[in-house]
Amino acid sequence: MTDSTRPEVPPWLYKLFTGHQYPYVRRQAKFDKPRSEEGDRPEPTKDEIQEKFWEIYPRCTTKMLQEIKTGMIVAFKELGGYAAGTYQEFVENPDAFLSREYGKKKIKVNFYDGDNFVCTINFKVAGWASHDDD
């Protein structure tokens, strides 16, 4: 995929995928490198991480989950999911998209590469303030 065919990706999404909190993309870039004589793999460069991001991100699916709290327990109800390449509107304006599609809720969005968990992000949508609002 060349730069001209890549969709716009906001900084929050790129950082979510490539930052240290969720190491999936970074780890995949590291595993592409050969082992040294000591048996270790060197850390990937910024460019290698970026290339791995553009390999993984376009094939990622999403799941939208609503956080539901009952007493001391937090559970998640699946609200929906999106196939790879079908959630650009969410990426461009997550709050407006989630508000329109799901209403006033606390929503967790998980990204997956096949069956592999990549990363997650939480949103308090449409002025959500507490579980009492549900």
Residue 106 lies in a domain: yes
For residue range 19-52, what is the model confidence (pLDDT) as tens digits? 989 999 999 999 988 888 888 888 999 999 999 9
- pLDDT for residue 132 is more than 70: no
The kind and range of the H/E element at 28 are helix 24-31
Structural domain including 92 reads: 6-133
Evaluate whether 133 touches 104 at the Cβ level (below 8 Å). Answer: yes
Nearest one of 4, 1, 3, 9 to 88, comparing CA atoms: 9
Mean pLDDT over 79-108 rounds to 93
Q: What is the pLDDT of residue 7?
A: 74
Task: Examine residue 1 and state whether it is found in any structural domain, yes or no.
Answer: no
Q: How many domains in the chain?
A: 1
Q: Other C-beta atoms within 10 Å of 64: how many?
A: 23
Q: Which pLDDT band, with edges at 50, 70 and 90, does 129 fall under? A: low
